[in-house]
Amino acid sequence: MNPQMKSDSLIAVAGAGGFIGGHLVKHFLEKGFERIRAVDKRPFGQWYQLHPAAENLCLDCSSEQACIKVSEGASEVYNLAADMGGMGFIERFRVECLRSILINTHMIESAYRAGVQRYFYASSACVYNTQLQQDPNVRALKESDAYPAMAERGYGWEKLISEMFCQEYHAERGLQTFIARFHNVYGPFGTWDGGREKAPAAICRKVVEALETNSGGIEIWGDGRQSRSFMYIDDCVEGIDRITHCDALVATPVNLGSSELVTINELVDKVEKIAGVKLRRTYNLNAPRGVAGRNSDNTLIQQVLHWEPGTSLDAGLRATYDWILEQHEKRKKGLQVVA
């Protein structure tokens, strides 16, 4: 942890009502920090986690005035605010994804003017050159593979230009910036229904629904041969903390993801095993499927931090499936859930 940080130093988390942001607020509260400013544009009832010990604010961070409020008096700012979701969202709503550039543009300027010591930006593996991801047996992507640039349209390009903002604010203005490229984060208290969910949550929900309806079947987007690595949420927040407090990674994009590569079919296998069921599979070849393959090369994070995400997919999926099953049962009983 940054030796300049004290327990009463103010930490601001933008996007705190979302999946990763909510876990990050919890992480810092559990580490003993007493002043956490948690910000999201959604009403409190729609936050995945609402921590009473934090200063919780409903603000739209695409507004300059909101970003000024977020950064005021903060020692560290963590920018996880973005309009995004799983492949079903980012392929269909590219304009909305691109407009998230407003958030980082205003936030980093506000943080600089407020004298923030450290600024974290949540980037994505979607910045990587799509021509390197045309085969399910893809080699793991290293940080330099973002250039020559051919990011995923919309979401990927927004992330790549925002990374450049972070690098230039350090080079020209001396702001300590930190950049993590997330690889498919999953776990409890995340989106699991409604179109923005990612593959692990979507598969867990579909298996739960198949058992509930006794349909005996599951629809898979694509041909099931697409490959990905999936990082459990606890590893994600630990990685954010470690990266943001490592001076060797200032203004340096770094992969934050698991290197455990699986196909979507293998992901379904694992969830079926957890649920104790075998389902008939149908493949929707017209559904959004993203690139054919993507994996995280963890050489840099291992060399610098002597650490990498280590939660096995089997363990993380078990916790995720149990939580989604619990949410499904609550919704059946008419109880309010955030999906």
As given in the structure block, the two tokens for residue 198 are 């990612």
CATH number at residue 96: 3.40.50.720
The reply to whether 112 and 247 lie within a common domain is: yes
Catalytic residue, from 155, 169, 186, 321: name it: 155
Contacts (Cβ under 8 Å, ≥6 apart) of 149: 127, 129, 160
Active-site residue 155, yes or no?
Answer: yes
Contact present, 219 and 286 (Cβ < 8 Å): no
The reply to whether 161 and 237 lie within a common domain is: yes
Would you say residue 34 lies in a domain? Answer: yes
DSSP string, 42-105: S-GGG-S---TTSEEEE--TTSHHHHHHHHTT-SEEEE---S--SHHHHTT-HHHHHTTHHHHH
The reply to whether 177 and 269 lie within a common domain is: no
The structural domain count of the chain equals 2
Distance CA 152, CA 155 (A): 6
Q: What is the pLDDT of residue 194?
A: 85
Would you say residue 3 lies in a domain? Answer: no
The reply to whether 147 and 267 lie within a common domain is: no
Range of the structural domain that residue 277 is part of? 199-228+261-332
Would you say residue 210 lies in a domain? Answer: yes
Q: What is the pLDDT of residue 3?
A: 52
pTM for this entry: 0.94
CATH number at residue 315: 3.90.25.10
Q: Tell how strand 176-182 and strand 253-256 pair up.
A: parallel
The reply to whether 16 and 142 lie within a common domain is: yes
The reply to whether 71 and 206 lie within a common domain is: no
The reply to whether 152 and 113 lie within a common domain is: yes
The reply to whether 222 and 137 lie within a common domain is: no
Residue-level pLDDT, tens digit, the chain, 339 residues? 455 678 889 999 999 999 999 999 999 999 999 999 999 999 999 999 999 999 999 999 999 999 999 999 999 999 999 987 766 777 788 898 899 999 999 999 999 999 999 999 999 999 999 999 988 888 999 999 999 999 988 899 999 999 999 999 999 999 999 999 999 999 999 899 988 888 999 999 999 999 999 999 999 999 999 999 999 999 999 999 999 999 999 999 999 999 999 999 999 999 999 999 999 999 999 988 788 999 999 999 999 999 999 999 999 999 999 999 999 999 999 998 888
The reply to whether 86 and 205 lie within a common domain is: no
